[in-house]
Copies of this chain bind each other. A is one copy, B any other.
Amino acid sequence: MPEEDTGIRRADSLRRENMQTPSPNAYKVGVPPKQKLFDEFTSTVKETLFSDDPLRNFKDQPRSRKVVIWLQSIFPILSWGKDYNLSKFKGDLIAGLTIASLCIPQDIGYAKLANLTPQYGLYTSFVPPLIYAFMGSSRDIAIGPVAVVSLLLGTLVQNEVDPVKEPVTYRRLVFTATFFAGITQLGFVIDFLSHATVIGFMAGAAITIALQQLKNFLGIKNFTKKTDIISVMKSVWKPVHHGWNWETILIGASFLAFLLVAKYIGKKNKKLFWVPAVAPIISVIVSTFFVYITRADKKGVSIVKHIEKGVNPSSVHEIFFTGSFLAKGFRIGAVSAMIALTEAIAIARTFAAMKDYQIDGNKEMIALGTMNVVGSMSSCYIATGSFSRSAVNFMAGCNTAVSNIVMSFVVLLTLEVITPLFKYTPNAVISSIIISAVIGLIDIDAMKLIWKIDKLDFIACMGAFFGVVFVSVEIGLLIAVSISFAKILLQVTRPKTALLGKIPGTNVYRNVLQYPEATKESGILIIRVDSAIYFSNSNYIKERILRWLSDEEEYARDTHQRPTRYLIVEMSPVTNIDTSGIHALAELHLSLQKREVQLVLANPGSAVIDKLNASGFSQQIGEDKIFLTVADAVMTFSPRFELEQP
């Protein structure tokens, strides 16, 4: 048996738990075998960047096979394409047509949120979904422009360039930002946003977007460029007596009612999911026809007027690769990329879990990044996964990313043939479509659940929400990211410690606050430290442990009990320690020595025991003071056993 060879003392300790023969000789804490410095380094880098071993599939394969595997890993279509058949295509065709009918009116509206003319929304529904279909690993996501990213991008770029006065520079900066959004997405490593802040941010953005639609919905001419609720409300009320256009309101309100009823029907009966999916395009057709025959546009109903016909022109030369707009584009791109990526990966994961297939976060990032880089060169702005269209795609029975290809071709046809027909489409209807789409982003149930689960998360959620609604999208985002990280830092700098007691009748020691029936041992204080010990918390942990000891000593004095003689630190949750942490432990040891209390450690993990040995701290407190479990340590030092033993 291996443990004989490694000279581990354990015989007595083991017998104790099995045969009820208590003994102070405990099972020794294991020290993992030493790794070479280089191996340790490469394995750390690999674990940091990938949750799965990226080279796993390449193991023991001939070279030609490796090339195939490599190509398949970049273009997943090469692996699932082999099994593609007609019955799968049927599902994808229906789903593709459904999401196309939904995306066309949405695209026109979202392009306006980004202060672009309508065709750019359609362009963005053509190239990126095609590329994603070849490279992405989600089978259900519907790619294209989305409301929140359009608004965010529009707001950020508008802060730098006026979209009305300098439309060309504005558009060039949009492409630059899109390019860098793609580049950033290729290299993202960590998740920046918590679920709670995303819920808050999305709800805030939905309200902001809906408020923006009041311009077209009420037919107001002079509308504020700010997005906060107070400025918007001022813009809305000021022209109430002479600036609202009642024909526009009538059209907008009737179609909004129609869309909401369709939405309600789809919600009540899952089989009728196609009703809300086709309602927008029906609204567009009906309202366009209505305006055309009544010429309502002459009565002040604003219409789309003109959409450029034809496929995406190249925009390679429009991207700023030099000058001050380079840095601005990079910053705007990186911020928007964060939201776009979070949204896409959340969608991909949700549907993957429902159909039980795996989403590889790294591959998704490459797919999304590439599609935006290519998009930026073909007149697209930032595309990502759309919540509403992905849900429709899923319910319409899509089987693979081919539904995106179908959608993409329908958009191509639209661009080539039918754009002139949108001339008389009233903007109020486009606004109604956007309002009915973004309402779904306000997830009251999720907010209630967050409140129930975690109050701090709820504060983060509300911070993001009110930041977006009352100040601006950027500030809301900034609040969201700051609160998210502050929470992590708080946890790391001020970790919990717990007093442990023995659960009656077991060998198990647990938090006495969680298990009030757990009993303390006389003369032994057991403290669990609930965090890795780092420079940021090492002094806090040391002082907190000394405070537990002072409390205990005070209590023992008041109740005339034995003074504490052993302080056992349960290290199970201490996953790592740095040099500052070891210093703090050494100072703790010194303080305890002065008080005639012995420091004892229980169950240090492999990284910790390694460093305790390397620093000589194990020798300093005595290696016989380090135990596998709290029970072993108590068994060794408990006065009961001292008395019982010969």
- Contact: B17 with A582, CB < 8 Å? no
Query: How many Å from the CB of A450 to the closest CB on chain B?
Result: 5
Residue from B1, B191, B605, B628 in contact with A508 in the complex, judged by beta carbons closer than 8 Å = B628
Interface 0/1 of A156-192, CB less than 8 Å to B? 0000000000000000000000000000000001111
Bitwise interface map of A from 11 to 49 toward B, beta carbon under 8 Å scored 1, else 0: 001110110000000010011110001001100000110
| Binary flags per residue of A571-610, CB closer than 8 Å to B gives 1, else 0 | 0110110111011000100110011000000010111010
Which residue on chain B has the smallest CB distance to residue A449?
B615
Binding site for B on A (CB under 8 A): 1-3, 6, 8, 10, 13-15, 17-18, 27, 30-33, 37, 40-41, 47-48, 51-53, 189-196, 345, 349, 353-354, 356, 358, 361, 449-450, 452-455, 457, 484, 487-496, 503-508, 510-511, 513-517, 530-532, 534-540, 543-544, 546-547, 572-573, 575-576, 578-580, 582-583, 587, 590-591, 594-595, 603, 605-607, 609, 611, 614-615, 628-629
Give chain B residues whose Cβ lies under 8 Å from the Cβ of A575: 491, 495-496, 530-531, 573
Contact A546 B358 (CB under 8 A): yes
Q: Complex: how many Å from CA A510 to CA B197?
A: 36
* Contacts A32-B514, A491-B492 known; 14 new A-B pairs at CB < 8 A: A18-B506, A40-B455, A47-B494, A53-B547, A190-B536, A191-B536, A195-B579, A195-B583, A358-B591, A454-B578, A491-B532, A491-B534, A510-B628, A514-B606
Choice from B51, B517, B603 contacting A2 with Cβ under 8 Å: B517
Q: Which residue of B lies closest to A493 (CB)?
A: B190
Indicate the member of A18, A508, A609 with the most B CB atoms within 10 Å. Answer: A508
Contact (A14, B506) CB under 8 Å given A51-B544, A196-B579, A517-B1? yes
Most buried by B among A33, A516, A579: A579
Interchain CB contact under 8 A, A191 and B453: no
Instruction: For the complex, give the distance between the alpha carbons of A513 and B605 in Å.
Output: 10
Whether the Cβ atoms of A490 and B48 lie closer than 8 Å is: yes
Once bound together, how far apart are the Cα atoms of A353 and B532, in whole Å? 23
Q: How far is the CA of A8 from the CA of B361 in the complex (A)?
A: 42
Asked if B194 contacts A578 (CB within 8 A), the reply is yes
Indicate how many identical chains form the complex.
Answer: 2
* A195 / chain B contacts, CB cutoff of 8 Å: 535, 578-580, 583
Q: Contact partner of A507 among B17, B354, B579, CB < 8 A? A: B17
- Give chain B residues whose Cβ lies under 8 Å from the Cβ of A189: 493
- Across the interface, do A573 and B572 meet the contact criterion of CB distance under 8 Å? yes
Quick check: B353 and A52 within 8 Å, CB to CB?
Answer: no
Q: Is the CB of A628 within 8 A of B503?
A: yes
Q: Which residues of B contact A455 (CB under 8 A)?
A: 37, 40-41
Which 6 interchain pairs have the tightest Cβ spacing?
A194-B535, A356-B594, A14-B505, A51-B543, A195-B580, A530-B575
